[in-house]
Structure 1
Amino acid sequence: MVPAVPAPRTWWYVAGALPAALLALVAGLATTGAAAPQALFDPGALVRWGLPVVTVVSHAAAALTVGAFALAAVVLPAGPARSRAVRTGAVAAVVWAPAQLVQLLLTHASVIGTGLGGPGYGEQLVQFVTQIELGTILAWSTVLTALVALVAVAVTGPTGAAWAGVLALVAMVPLALTGHAAGAANHELAVSSWWMHLAGVTLWAGGLAVLCLVASRAGRDLPASVERYSAVALWAYVLVAGSGLAGALLRLSTAAELVTHPYGRLLLAKVVLTVALGLIGWAHRRATVPALRAAAAAGSTRPGGAFWRLAGVEVVVMAAVVGVAVALGSSAPPIPQDPPPDATPVYLLTGYPEPPFPTALTYLTQWRPEPLTATLAVVAVGVYLAWVRRLRRRGDAWPLWRAVSWVSGFVLFAWVTNGGPAVYGSVLFSAHMVQHMLLAMVVPIFLVVGAPVTLAVRALPHRRDGSRGPREWLLAVVHSGWARFFAHPVVAAVNFAGSLVVFYYTGLFELALTTHVGHLAMVAHFTLAGYLFANALISVDPGPTRPGYPLRLLLLFGTMAFHAFFGISLISLTSLLAADHFGRLGLSWWVDALADQGKGGAITWGIGEIPTLALAVAVALSWARDDERVARRTDRRADRDDDAELRAYNEMLASRAGRPDETRR
């Protein structure tokens, strides 16, 4: 039996994590000199050292919040361990909100260089949060963390934990817009990679810290909980490593700067610690989980030395990594992150150099990496193929053409969001409409044909201990009231068509062009709207009650007619949409923005024809196959009735044939 460890020991490692983070922070700041007095407008030692310290506290609270609610939502079954995780998340969220407020105040003091307080301090602070982009972003972050705290204290079960965890991840979006990512070249790549980095770190580090806090309450569920957390940690580790690599490429010009520049040396230390954490996690999965299972089989209900030797040490090392990361964020990288002095209007408006004149070849050769959508495409394809392989290993079949459709859909999605349509979509309205139409009308058809929900339900394991895994969450979402409402055929059609007008004829269009968050929201909304519309017409997945085939065709042609009229309205416009953007680009290969807008309207009208025809054919084929199935069922029923009548007739003849013999006897 693995020796038991008293419950109070669980606090030693978590309590030691914060000092480890602060020591790493101080060492990092000393290495780069980021906390040294400034020659002009020095805000004082309190601000110079207090800001990174408060940032560490804020990041630690965010990690505990996300980690606690992630464990409560997808790892822990109902019981004392889940209850403690929920309480931990609530306390961490309540700490996170004021820490974020203090970070806002210290950031303002650092920017103005006069310290806290003084004459006119209140007016300067109001101006900072209302007129300066950095201040506005931090104000939004403070508001969102306060909202997270309000939601967190009301959480009681896995559903509430999931909502609180998602909201906490959303609250970190403003943090991804600050620091080096705020003014970086390749701004979109910097913002997305930094948010992915934050999300991965909070899931990984926060999840393990909370697991240490609840381990003594998990009892016999501890081995399964550790194994599930290990799977989550593996995904988080890949996310952290990939996004960290992307961020390093943006801030280092050569590999030699890892040893020649103070920022590079600090980054190298972080890389070494991260690799060490990966090795510890691998050992955790290979050695600790079997040891815990053996201890549970022997009757132990507490975590033993095997757990603490790895999990506890890993928490402390993770805290040191967080401290180094905050020091990195406070230090100047080798590559300047401000726009160059000779930046063109295209660069100032989009954050990227002007692309070459658009041709069919450049649409295929120009790329602008977007980590979030690229990662989504890779993960979606990899997970889907893993599910197919799992089915085939146990002898179940899955149609090859459905897998090909799913992969094709995400390959197209990756190109639309990272390739030529994304590059030219920020400078040409016509290219933007190509991107929009492919996302809303072509990609969703491929994805719906892939039948991902049906595959997932067949491939994912079912949990029986009261916790919610991927299968349980997927079914909960599919059968939720929100999903039934938005997936209803009429609602899906209205959303698909009506959101076009709302998006393009309001300020949302320009918001999507000028902000990365707005652009990602546009991609998510129209891809999902197209998926729900196609799902209502041709999907075989579980979902809403679908109307009869005649009504489906009527719904399809009605929606597409509205779509065509929308394209005609764009062609007829005499004013420029998002004029402050398209009218100020000053492209060297001059383009008439209004004429290009009319071209975009024609593309909107024209591209919709082929997907409409494909959907109509798919509905007609489904209608025919359904009629054939009904006919076969009717024929089988008729055959059964005929057989029954024939048996009855033969029995009657046999009974009549037997009566004379009985009379003679």
Structure 2
Amino acid sequence: MLLIVAVLAMVAALAFGGGAAAPLLADPGALVRWGLPTATLIVNLSAAGAIGALVLACFAFSPGKPEFGASLDFAAGSAAVMTVASAVTGLFTFVSASNVPLSFDATFTNGLSSFITSVSLGQAWLGITLIAAAVTVLCFAVRNHTALIFVTALAIASIIPMAQQGHSADAAGHDAAVTSFGLHVLFAAIWLGGLVTMIVLRRRFEGGRLVTVLERYSTLALIAFIVVAASGYVNAELRVGTLAQLATPYGILVLIKVAALGALGLFGVLQRRYLIGRLSAGGSRSAFWWLVTAELAFMGIASGVAAALARTATPVAEKLGTTPTPAEILTGEKLPPELTWGRLVTSWNFDLLWVLGCAFAAFFYLAGVWRLRKRGDRWPIHRTILWLAGLVLLFYITSGGINVYEKYLFSTHMLAHMVLTMMVPLLLVPGAPVTLAVRAIRKRNDGSRGGREWILLAVHSRFAAVISNPIVAAVLFAGSLWAFYYTPLFRWATTDHIGHEWMIVHFLITGYLFVQSLIGIDPVKYRLAYPFRLILLLGTMAFHAFFGLSIMTTQGLLLADWFGSMGRTWGALPLVDQQTGGGIAWSVGEIPTVILAIIVAVQWGRNDDRETKRRDRNADRTGEAELNAYNERLAKLATRDGASR
């Protein structure tokens, strides 16, 4: 039913919006005009089936239950369909873009080969096809619960090339479009794919198992709905522009999709507030399946309209103007006005990924604290304050004025880097999120893995033991500076939005691991003695300062074809700005170093006090037994030495 409704909705939306109308020039033919959106729709639906089933296998299903293996079989089948559909989509995309008639002669095959190996759009569909094929094989071959998390990550990776093409690839606001579209597709896949998986496996749930799994799916669906709604709004704003343009065919289709998503949200509320309780009380399942059927129909409408929107002309022009500036050519955005302290505070360029990430991190942390207090447990207020302060700082760095200017100024980029790797972890680590999660999240007893089980597995893994080792953490923290700025990684992270997001994650994690090794509260396998922590801190910071000095004294411009080609008429010269960035790297590290040294010293003193009190209590309890035994041992040694003489 889902496929039928989705295809009907897509056909109606294409006819209304003109997405499949024959162009005046270079018509690829009706087969391609209608086949391309149809193949894309099948890619989206099959990707949802694979991702949704894998996510439920990782977070909701139990390996010892029948639904676990069946979900992997369904994921494999969905990934196989996705493989074929992706290959067909790539083929139709080539015909549509090149206007070469579909055939099997040498000219066509050579052109297709060049398209999928040399053109970014063709490479994207080749990558999606190969990932889907790999997921198909792995779903059959891998049945280990832990290894499945990596298969799931691989399936999710297929969303990245999808997000980098289509409307989001060519439009102004490229970065926001890629992020919003990627999040939209991913969480819609989890939402839709999870529901389809539940329906396909409905006969596999024994006894009251359906209620348990449904509760877990509903939590995932609620998170997915929030992300889909937020990302859909951002993407629609970029494509539609103004309220008046909602009257265009594209705008009307967007409104239809919004209405479908609103209905799905209402179904979710009914499911959580009414049907789960009714099923728990032993009520009939017929009302539940009727609701699920209606929900599936609306998901089909939303999926079909979404596929049509990808082929419908947007009211906002996607290409750059006829005379783009150097900054627009390089970044896709206009050069911002001259940087001032006021603009650094008041300018915003929201990164939806980190807006949602910070919001969810704050919500779940506060929910954990509330759950502890509700059952009578204490949680220090300063940990909550520090955690929230760290998230606020992270939010500002990724969405505030620094994010506006770091593409254009090396110094601003370096400031963002230093804050991410040093200041933000200094606030987040004392929040002890792992300890809170382990105490607050309910333990599962059916063999499945929720947040608590996955966190504990990760913390106690061999990989975590290696990277959390203080020496390794220090090498990663300091060595990443050189490996990043003096290798092609710097270009990738600067010129590519995916690389930029990777940079944020990488420096946030390496900074977190280093600070955790010095002052962390959460459990780790290795802890250095306090004197060695201070030595490690000072040695690492000396290495860090040397890096800053190397940037300050460099006479060649890093990424000269980027930072030196923006066409800026304000601010310092690119080389002077780069040297300023080196000064920031050298000087900004001093403040966190002093703070960390003070905290380590205070913890050292408190640890000595606790050890002294422990020994005093032990002495009082045992009557100085330990001291007396030590004195007796010394006396025996003295007597033996005297006798030997």
Question: Could you tell me how far apart the structure 1 residues matched to 2:233 and 2:425 are?
Answer: 31
Q: Please list, as runs of the form range in 1=range in 2, the aligned pairs for 1:257-268 lying within 5 A after superposition.
A: 257-258=245-246, 260-268=247-255
Between the aligned partners of 2:160 and 2:263, the Cα distance in structure 1 is 28
Q: Equivalent residue of 1:493, what SS?
A: helix
Conservation of the 8 A alpha-carbon contact between 2:260 and 2:298: yes
Alignment of 1:339-354 (within 5 A): 339-354=320-335
Report the CA distance between 1:119 and its aligned residue. 5.3
1:116-157 per-residue CA deviation (whole Å, 9 max, x = no partner) reads 235522232233234333223323333332332232222314
State the shift of 1:233 in Å. 0.3
Q: 1:290 aligns with which of 268, 277, 285?
A: 277
Which shows bigger deviation, 629-638 or 150-159? 150-159
Q: Which residue in 1 is equivalent to 2:184?
A: 197
How far does residue 590 in structure 1 lie from its aligned partner after superposition? 5.2
Q: Which one of the candidate residues 484, 493, 501 is aligned to 2:465?
A: 484
158-167 or 313-322: bigger deviation: 158-167
1:86 to 54, 72, 75: 72
Contact (CA 8 Å) 1:43, 1:115: kept in 2 or not?
yes
Alignment match, 1:230:
218
Q: 1:116-135 alignment to 2 at 5 Å?
A: 116-117=102-103, 118=105, 120-135=107-122
Instruction: Give the TM-score normalised by the residue count of structure 1.
Output: 0.92
Q: CA–CA distance in 2 between the matches of 1:23 and 1:480?
A: 49
Deviation at 1:611, TM superposition (A): 0.6
Q: Look up the match of 2:243.
A: 255
Which amino acid in structure 2 is aligned with residue 256 of structure 1? A
CA distance in 2, matches of 1:559, 1:136: 41
- Provide the C-alpha distance between the structure 1 equivalents of 2:369 and 2:345, rounded to a whole number of angstroms: 30
Match of 1:39 in 2: 24
Question: Which of the residues 578, 600, 611 maps onto 2:559?
Answer: 578
**Matching residue's letter, 1:480:** S
Structure 1 letter corresponding to 2:12: A
Give SS of 1:76's match. coil
Indicate the SS of the match to 2:243: coil
2:401 partner letter: G
Partner AA of 2:135 in structure 1: V
Moved more, 550-559 or 182-191: 550-559
Q: Distance in 2 between matches of 1:338 and 1:381?
A: 38
CA–CA distance in 1 between the matches of 2:59 and 2:141?
Answer: 18
1:355-381 deviation line (CA, Å, top 9, x unaligned): 121121111011111100111111111
2:77 partner letter: V
- Do structure 1's residue 467 and structure 2's residue 448 form an aligned pair? yes
Which of 160-169 and 358-367 deviates more?
A: 160-169
Alpha-carbon spacing, 1:643–1:497, altered in 2? closer, same or farther (3 Å): closer
Q: Which residue of 1 aligns with 2:140?
A: 153
Match status 1:240 vs 2:228: yes
2:129 is matched with 142
- Aligned 8 A contact 1:21 1:319 in 2: yes
> Which residue, out of 499, 516, 519, partners 1:518?
499
Q: Which residue of 2 aligns with 1:593?
A: 574
Correspondence for 1:26: 11
Is the 1:212–1:312 Cα contact (8 Å) retained in structure 2?
no
Alignment of 1:9-20 (within 5 A): 16-20=1-5
Q: Does 1:170 align with 2:150?
A: no
Kindly indicate whether the alpha-carbon contact (under 8 Å) linking 1:369 and 1:418 is maintained by their aligned counterparts in 2: yes
Partner of 1:456, secondary structure, is helix
Task: Please show how residues 375-394 of structure 1 align to structure 2 within 5 Å.
Answer: 375-394=356-375
Q: What per-residue deviation string (whole Å, max 9, x for no partner) do you get for residues 261-297 of structure 1?
A: 111111111111111111111111222212221228x
Per-residue CA distance 1:378-428 (angstroms, 9 max, x = gap): 111111111111111111111111111001111101111111111111111
Q: Does the aligned pair in 2 maintain the 1:65–1:89 contact within 8 Å?
A: yes
SS at match of 1:34: coil
C-alpha distance in structure 2 between counterparts of 1:289 and 1:505, whole Å: 56
Amino acid at match of 1:427: Y
Separation in structure 1 between the aligned mates of residue 414 and residue 99 of structure 2, nearest angstrom: 46
| Structure 1: gaps spanning 5 or more residues | 1-15, 297-302, 646-665
The 1:120–1:273 alpha-carbon spacing in structure 2 relative to 1, beyond 3 Å, is: same
CA deviation vs aligned residue, 1:175-203 (integer Å, no higher than 9, x gap)? 00111100111111100000110111001
Would you say 1:415 and 2:396 are equivalent positions?
Answer: yes
1:207 to 184, 188, 194: 194
In structure 2, the residue matched to 1:61 is 46
**Structure 1 residues 232-241 or 342-351, which shifts more?**
342-351
Deviates more, 1:245-254 or 1:628-637: 245-254
Matched, 1:368 2:356: no
Partner of 1:5: none
Rounded Cα–Cα distance in structure 2 between residues aligned with 1:348 and 1:547: 50
Asked whether the 8 Å contact 1:80–1:217 carries over to 2, the reply is yes
Preserved contact between residue 468 and residue 526 of structure 2 (Cα < 8 Å):
no
**Alignment length, in residue pairs?**
623
Q: Residue 149 of structure 2 aligns to which amino acid in structure 1?
A: A
Structure-1 residue corresponding to 2:598: 617
What amino acid is aligned across from residue 332 of structure 1 in structure 2?
Answer: A
Alpha-carbon distance in structure 2 between the residues aligned to 1:629 and 1:590: 54
In 2, Cα distance between equivalents of 1:284 and 1:108 = 43
Aligned-residue offset at 1:644: 8.5
User: d(CA) in 1 for partners of 2:502 and 2:138?
Assistant: 23
2:611 maps to 1:630: yes
Gapped regions of structure 2 (runs ≥ 5): 627-645
Aligned to 1:300: none
Give yes or no for contact 1:54–1:102 (8 Å, CA) kept in 2: yes
Select 2:540's aligned residue among 554, 559, 573. Answer: 559
The answer to whether the Cα contact below 8 Å between 1:20 and 1:320 also exists between their aligned partners in 2 is: yes
User: 1:548-571: CA deviations, max 9, x gaps?
Assistant: 111111111111111011111111
Distance 1:422 1:590 in 2: 17
Contact 2:339 2:571 in 1 (8 A): no
Among the aligned pairs, what percent are the same residue? Answer: 44
Cα pair 1:47 1:109 within 8 Å, conserved: yes
User: Counterpart in 2 of 1:278?
Assistant: 265
1:643 deviation in Å? Answer: 8.5
Q: 8 Å contact 2:82–2:129 — kept in the other structure?
A: no
Q: Among residues 282, 285, 292, which one is paired with 1:304 in the alignment?
A: 285
**Counterpart contact for 2:418–2:589, Cα < 8 Å:** yes
CA deviation string 1:431-484 (max 9, x = no partner): 110000000011011110111011111111111111111111111111112211
Q: C-alpha separation between the residues in 2 aligned to 1:264 and 1:392?
A: 47
Contact 2:164/2:178 (<8 A) preserved: yes
**Matching residue's letter, 1:60:** L
Check the 8 A contact 1:536/1:544 in 2, yes or no.
no
- Does the CA-based 8 Å contact 1:37-1:45 persist in structure 2? yes
TM-score normalised by structure 2 residue count: 0.94
- Write the distance in 1 (CA, Å) between the matches of 2:101 and 2:286: 48
Q: Does 1:603 align with 2:584?
A: yes
State the 4+ residue runs in structure 1 displaced beyond 6 angstroms: none
Q: State the alpha-carbon separation in 2 of the partners of residues 71 and 427 from structure 1.
A: 42
